[in-house]
Amino acid sequence: MKKIAIVIILILTACAAPKECCAQDKKIDFKKIFKFGTVYGAVNGGTSLSDEDAFSVTNGLQTSVVETPYDYSMILGIRKMKQFGYQPKEAFKRGTESSFSDAATIGRWENQFEFLFEAEYKRQQGETYFDQHHFIRYVADDGCGLKNCWNHWIAKVEYLKDGFADIEYFEASERYRYNVNGNLSFNIGIAQRLSEPYGYDPLEEWKLSNGNLHYTFLALEEGYTVEFDGEGGVEYFDPSGNTVATSTEVWEAVVIPTTLADYSEKKRDALANVIQHSWVVGFDYYKYTKKSWLHAWGSLMPLHYSDSKNEFSYYNFNEGQWKDYSFGLIYGHWFNKNIGVFVEGKYNKYWNREWHGFSAGINYRVF
């Protein structure tokens, strides 16, 4: 995945602006590329779930406290994106801001690179994640003043890893853009995505003809053992020989779910990433005044191609075509100098994964 990403980034960097980058007697102006960019690092933290009392009566009444360690995040990033009119100017970049507009197809800068490289190591509700979001975007416009100029196009390279949403993929897209007017445009093109084989179910091979799962045999294959004492008692051991359950109820309710989760993760990690080619169509709308603004965008991937020889492609798991899509909306309106409303959010559905966020509310300014 890294090699493909590097190659595409180099191609995009070298040829997106041929007048500046590809001439033999000129060099890439890195100072211009990074001008107005912001490098930021931050540490954030806060209280997580409160302590919870847990009770057991297996060997008499026993009480324990389940503690969830505090949440924290360490963020390092660099970004260069021109702000939309509705975005507030911040004194400092903390990395925790909810910038739904980052997902927009088109930025405010034309004929310039916009980019985001951000990595975050965090602990959330006791679970740790190493999330990443990187992208480079170039929106070309030759300024001919017509709707269908040949040099109206968009190129974007993106890598996203979101542990909480359990999604990770690399995507490159190349689109032609048709400007309806100064606010609305449509785009069409192709996208290439590289990801783990979403749709693959490692437990499918362990299902019986009646649909049930032969989970005990799976656990035995994974190294667990079972011993019966001949008097109706039973004891279960993990691959290291440690006792994990002394009853069938605990075995099925506690040990088996963990075993199935570990097995599924192991089998998925053992498979190579799969590349997916898709047609993509989309739109982008942006209009801003100090009193009201609307920013909306969306993309749809209705047709896909995958190597039929790859048995782990989502195309084969899904038995044909499917629709992946993403869209976002940011709306705000001041009815008068005192009261206003806002709605903003984004939604993504790729393969069998969904991730989204939203915010809505009302403001009343007192004078």
pLDDT number for residue 34: 80
Burial of 280 (C-beta count, 10 Å sphere; 0-12/13-18/19+): buried
pLDDT number for residue 149: 67
pLDDT number for residue 115: 93
Q: Which of 108, 116, 192, 110 is nearest to 153 (CA)?
A: 110
Interval 104-117 mean pLDDT: 90
Q: Is the model's pLDDT at 308 over the cut of 70?
A: no
Poorest-pLDDT segment among 144-148, 176-180, 223-227, 230-234? 144-148
pLDDT number for residue 112: 86
Q: Is the model's pLDDT at 133 over the cut of 50?
A: yes
CA distances from 322 to 93, 111, 163, 193, 319 (A): 39, 34, 24, 15, 9
Strands 38-46 and 52-56: what pairing?
A: unpaired
Measured between alpha carbons, how far is 114 from 116 in angstroms, rounded to an integer? 7
More confident residue, 26 or 322: 322
Q: Is the model's pLDDT at 3 over the cut of 90?
A: no
pLDDT number for residue 9: 47
HSE-CB for 26 with a 13 A CA cutoff: 12
Q: Is the model's pLDDT at 214 over the cut of 90?
A: no
Measured between alpha carbons, how far is 279 from 363 in angstroms, rounded to an integer? 41
Measured between alpha carbons, how far is 177 from 172 in angstroms, rounded to an integer? 16
Mean pLDDT (the chain) is 84
Q: Give CA torsion, residues 315, 327, 134, 37, to 10 deg.
A: 160
* Contact call for residues 119 and 76 (beta carbons, < 8 A): yes
What tokens does 251 get? 């075995």
pLDDT number for residue 173: 95
* Contact call for residues 44 and 94 (beta carbons, < 8 A): yes
- For residue 42, the one-letter residue type is A
Which are the contacts of 10, defined by CB distance < 8 A and separation ≥ 6? none
Tell me the per-residue pLDDT of 163-210, one tens digit each, with 9 for 90 and over.
888 899 999 999 999 988 889 999 999 999 999 888 888 888 888 877
Interval 344-361 mean pLDDT: 93
Poorest-pLDDT segment among 46-60, 61-75, 93-107, 255-269? 46-60
pLDDT number for residue 17: 46
pLDDT number for residue 343: 96
Q: Is the model's pLDDT at 7 over the cut of 50?
A: no
pLDDT number for residue 145: 64
More confident residue, 70 or 10: 70
Which are the contacts of 336, defined by CB distance < 8 A and separation ≥ 6? none
Kindly report the backbone phi and psi dihedral angles of residue 218, in degrees, each rounded to the nearest multiple of 5, phi listed first.
-60, -45
Which are the contacts of 83, defined by CB distance < 8 A and separation ≥ 6? 89, 108
Handedness of CA 177, 180, 182, 185 (dihedral sign): negative
CA distances from 2 to 157, 166, 242, 322, 328 (A): 12, 19, 40, 27, 28
Q: Is residue 69 very low, low, confident or very high in pLDDT (cuts 50, 70, 90)?
A: confident
What tokens does 349 get? 């559905």
Percentage with pLDDT > 90 across the chain:
43
Poorest-pLDDT segment among 97-101, 179-183, 362-366? 97-101
Tell me the per-residue pLDDT of 239-282, one tens digit each, with 9 for 90 and over.
999 998 888 888 989 899 999 989 988 888 888 888 889 999 99
Instruction: Please list the residues that pair with 227 across neighbouring strands.
Output: 235
CA distances from 364 to 255, 280, 293, 294, 344 (A): 53, 41, 18, 20, 18
Q: Which of 264, 219, 267 is nearest to 244 (CA)?
A: 219
pLDDT number for residue 4: 46
Poorest-pLDDT segment among 38-52, 162-176, 351-365? 38-52
Tell me the per-residue pLDDT of 284-293, one tens digit each, with 9 for 90 and over.
999 999 999 9
More confident residue, 90 or 11: 90
Q: Is the model's pLDDT at 70 over the cut of 80?
A: yes
Burial of 154 (C-beta count, 10 Å sphere; 0-12/13-18/19+): buried
Report how far apart the first and last C-alpha atoms of the chain are (Å, whole number). 55
Q: Is the model's pLDDT at 41 over the cut of 50?
A: yes
pLDDT number for residue 16: 47
Q: Is the model's pLDDT at 324 over the cut of 90?
A: yes
* Contact call for residues 202 and 215 (beta carbons, < 8 A): no
Interval 104-119 mean pLDDT: 90
Q: Is the model's pLDDT at 333 over the cut of 90?
A: yes
CA distances from 69 to 35, 131, 273 (A): 40, 19, 34
